[in-house]
Structure 1
């Protein structure tokens, strides 16, 4: 399949999932995960009209950002070490992996120095897997209260990773759990402002994620394809 065909197929799948859930496709944003493809292919993705680019390591993102950083909107979707914040601040508009207070402090420090505001998703380990990053659901209430101390970080929502093995349907409780947590947090009044977004769902399970309320899906192979394309 060509890139254009994959994009059309993804858009159709999003529309169908939204129809099943009684949602509008306009509520769902797509991040094209380009970590396994070249700068040339990333450029083609941007040429196709896809606006949002997701990368999970600065080392592999750097040549792409240096060539294409003035185009599209860039999302850092991988685990972020505090000593790497200086590399990505001002380049990535969104961070999908805010998972600890020490990282929030460093993001605040760097963003304040650059006089910018960065949008962030708080990463939550809904599944409870030891291999997954993210804070436990019960830790998010205090964390959101503490986020009030960081005016240069705009906590816009939550992010989670579903188990990679198993059928897509098996991920539904994880996605539903994140949506329910968002609702509980908003009801608690701990966030400085209501959380609006859920970053959840990848190539194998994004339709289920949309049915459960995802507003951002992170799509690699199903959208970007393989390098030879």
Structure 2
């Protein structure tokens, strides 16, 4: 069933790119493997997907240890500063940076390991009380403050849009995040490239692609409903 689900997701991504007049190569699919066993990840691997997203540091490091080392891991969940040291040299991208304190911790741990860590700024674009992330109007001053860190690179923005039955309701949020991304890119901040826009999940990734997403994070759409007891 996983392979059939993946095929459908890939078809949907292609269709959304066509509708938006975009090249399919502009969009990276991240298979969100949280709570799914290694055997499920291996099924997706067989289909050529190498980008995987995890919410929890412990789960990511456990899977990193047993799976091939040429996979690209994305930490997409909230990250505590005391957990940074476990993943800073294992992940391709940290999607959820939302404080100077966290950025500083990542910078320090990356320096210790002599690596440059790529990060995204998590933006609470809909200003939901239940969500992490900084507000859109605070992103520019935040970037000015963290751009001085030498061992992190800001690659762009990420958001988790509201849970909605109708994905069209999130179109405005995705459009606003893209515009924010464009506005900041025009400011040419040192050490900030703004080439990545991580937005869209199982329920709304097609709309996100139409509005400019370069990364979509799809879990349930590929692996099915999660088993939170494992």
Question: Normalization by structure 1: what TM-score?
Answer: 0.94
Would the aligned equivalents of 1:54 and 1:77 in 2 still touch at CA under 8 Å? yes
The alpha-carbon distance between structure 1 residues 226 and 163, as it changes in their structure 2 partners (threshold 3 A), is closer
Partner residue in 2 for 1:36: 35
| Counterpart secondary structure, 1:79 | coil
Residue 194 (structure 1) shift:
3.4
Establish whether residue 192 from structure 1 lines up as the match of residue 155 from structure 2: no
Partner residue in 1 for 2:221: 222
- Map 1:134-149 onto structure 2 (within 5 A): 134-149=133-148
| Counterpart secondary structure, 2:16 | helix
Residue 142 (structure 1) shift:
1.1
Partner residue in 2 for 1:62: 61
Would the aligned equivalents of 1:159 and 1:200 in 2 still touch at CA under 8 Å? yes
For 2:67 and 2:144, how far apart are their aligned partners in 1? 37
The 10-residue stretch of structure 1 (46-55 or 187-196) with the greater mean CA deviation from structure 2: 187-196
Would the aligned equivalents of 2:36 and 2:226 in 1 still touch at CA under 8 Å? yes
Would the aligned equivalents of 1:168 and 1:208 in 2 still touch at CA under 8 Å? yes
- Map 1:81-96 onto structure 2 (within 5 A): 81-96=80-95
For 2:157 and 2:190, how far apart are their aligned partners in 1? 12
- Map 1:123-202 onto structure 2 (within 5 A): 123-190=122-189, 192-202=191-201
Residue 14 (structure 1) shift:
0.7
Aligned length: 227
Would the aligned equivalents of 2:61 and 2:87 in 1 still touch at CA under 8 Å? no
For 2:167 and 2:44, how far apart are their aligned partners in 1? 26
Residue 227 (structure 1) shift:
7.1
Residue 155 (structure 1) shift:
0.6
Residue 151 (structure 1) shift:
1.7
Residue 59 (structure 1) shift:
2.4
Could you tell me which runs of 5 or more consecutive residues in structure 2 were left unpaired when the two chains were aligned: none
Question: Normalization by structure 2: what TM-score?
Answer: 0.94
The 10-residue stretch of structure 1 (40-49 or 17-26) with the greater mean CA deviation from structure 2: 40-49
Residue 119 (structure 1) shift:
1.1
Would the aligned equivalents of 1:37 and 1:226 in 2 still touch at CA under 8 Å? no
For 1:62 and 1:149, how far apart are their aligned partners in 2? 29
Could you tell me which runs of 5 or more consecutive residues in structure 1 were left unpaired when the two chains were aligned: none
Partner residue in 1 for 2:45: 46
Deviations 1:12-46, CA, capped at 9 Å, x for gaps? 11111111111111100011001021122122222
For 1:227 and 1:75, how far apart are their aligned partners in 2? 18
| Counterpart secondary structure, 1:115 | coil
| Counterpart secondary structure, 2:147 | helix
Aligned residues: CA RMSD:
1.6
Residue 9 (structure 1) shift:
1.1
